Amino acid sequence: MAADHQKLRVATTSLAGCFGCHMSLLDIDERLLELLERIELDRSPLTDVKRVGPCDLGIVEGGLCNAENVHVLREFRRNCRVLLAIGACAVNGGLPAQRNHLDVRDCLQTVYLTGAGIRRGFIPNDPELPLPLDRVHPLHDVVKVDYFLPGCPPPADAIWKFLNDLLAGRTPTLGHGLIHYD
């Protein structure tokens, strides 16, 4: 990917995720400095850039839970040459997908109308609020995903190895101990 020695432009985001994967990314500790010599960040919770521009690599944490997630993912896909799904939620829906056997109508009603402690609740209809999808989906259900890095979250060492391989132009591989799904 980085045949020349230009810095690689990387964007990251968290959709229906918990930022755990981002935390794990920060967990690579002092190796971050080394990484930052080789990449520059575009849109990311770490930068505050609001819209993603053309990038070499997009790293997406979290699955697709609502319409907003779909918009952001599509924007990433349009702008990133390579897309990496990071973490269990991005890879297979993860914990949020455990609501998939419930009717989303019942979920909304319970949360806003009938749940404990709610008096005179109502279901918000503000167009600013993204509507939930009837089911949570992994990223590859909606766009092409080039690489997957499982884990909840993936260990920092796995992320480091994975990014290193990618930056060096190798197909990333993880041996025993680095691949895990939990």
Partner 1 sequence: MEPAADAHDPRTFTMDGRDVPFEAGQTVLRAALAAGRYVPHLCYHPEFDPHGSCKLCTVKLNGRTVASCTTLARAGDEVESDTPELQELRRNLVQFLFVEGNHFCPSCERSGSCTLQAVAYDLGVMAEHFSPFFPDRPIDASHPDVLLDFNRCILCELCVRASAEVDGKHVFALSGRGAQKHLIVNAESGRLADTRLAVEDKAMDVCPVGVILRKRRGFLVPIGERKYDQRSIREIATANAGSSARPPAAREP
Partner 2 sequence: MSRDLSAILAKYEQDPLRLVQILRSVVAEDGYVSKETITAIAERLALPRGRVEGVAGFYAFLPTEDVGRYRVLFSDNVTDRMAGSVELRERMQEAFGVRLGEVSRDGLVSIGTTSCTGLCDQGPAMLINGRAIPRLTRARVGAISAMIHGRAPIETWPLNLFEVHSNVLRKDALLSTPLEPGAAIDAALARGPESTIEEVKRSTLRGRGGAGFSTGSKWELCRAAPGEARYVVCNADEGEPGTFKDRALLADYADLVFEGMTVAAFAIGAKRGFLYLRAEYPFLLEPLEATLADRRRRGLLGEAIRGVAGFDFDIEIHVGAGAYVCGEESALIESLEGKRGIPRNRPPYPVTHGYRQAPTIVNNVETLALAAMVVRHGHQWLRARGAGKSAGTKLMSVSGDVERPGVYELPFGVTVREVLEAAGARSVQAVQVGGPSGTLLSPSELGRRLMFDDVPTAGAFMVFDDSRDILQVLENFATFFAHESCGFCTPCRVGTALQRRMASALAKGFGTRRDVKDLARVARVMRASSHCGLGATAGNVALDALEKFRPAFDRRLGTLEVMPTFDLDRSLAPAREVAGRDDEQAHLRREEER
Q: Which residues contact 147 (CB under 8 A, 6 or more apart)?
A: 82, 83, 84, 85, 162, 166, 172
Q: How far apart are the first and last CA of the chain?
A: 29
Among 58, 62, 93, 132, contact with partner 1 (rule: CB under 8 A):
93
Is residue 74 close enough to count as binding partner 2 by CB under 8 A?
yes
Q: Decide if residue 104 touches partner 2 (CB under 8 A).
A: yes
- CB 91 → partner 1: shortest distance, Å? 5
Burial of 5 (0-12, 13-18, 19+ CB in 10 A): exposed
Of the pair 50, 144, the CB lying nearest partner 2 is at: 144
**Residue range at the interface with partner 1 (CB under 8 A); choices 39-47, 90-98, 110-118, 120-128:** 90-98
127 binds partner 2 (CB under 8 A): yes
Using alpha carbons only, what angle is made at residue 178 by residues 177 and 182, rounded to the nearest 5 degrees?
A: 90
| Beta pairing class for 55-61 and 80-86 | parallel
Q: Does 131 bind partner 2 (CB under 8 A)?
A: yes
Helices H / strands E in the chain, number of each: 6, 7
Q: What three-state secondary structure class fits 33?
A: helix
174 binds, among partner 2, partner 1, none (CB under 5 to 8 A by kind): partner 1
CB of 7 to partner 2, least distance (A): 27
Q: Which residues bind partner 2 (CB under 8 A)?
A: 67, 70, 74, 103-105, 108-109, 123-125, 127-128, 130-135, 137, 140-144
Q: Which residues bind partner 1 (CB under 8 A)?
A: 85, 88, 91-95, 97-98, 100-101, 135, 137-138, 140-141, 145, 147-150, 152, 173-174, 176, 179-182
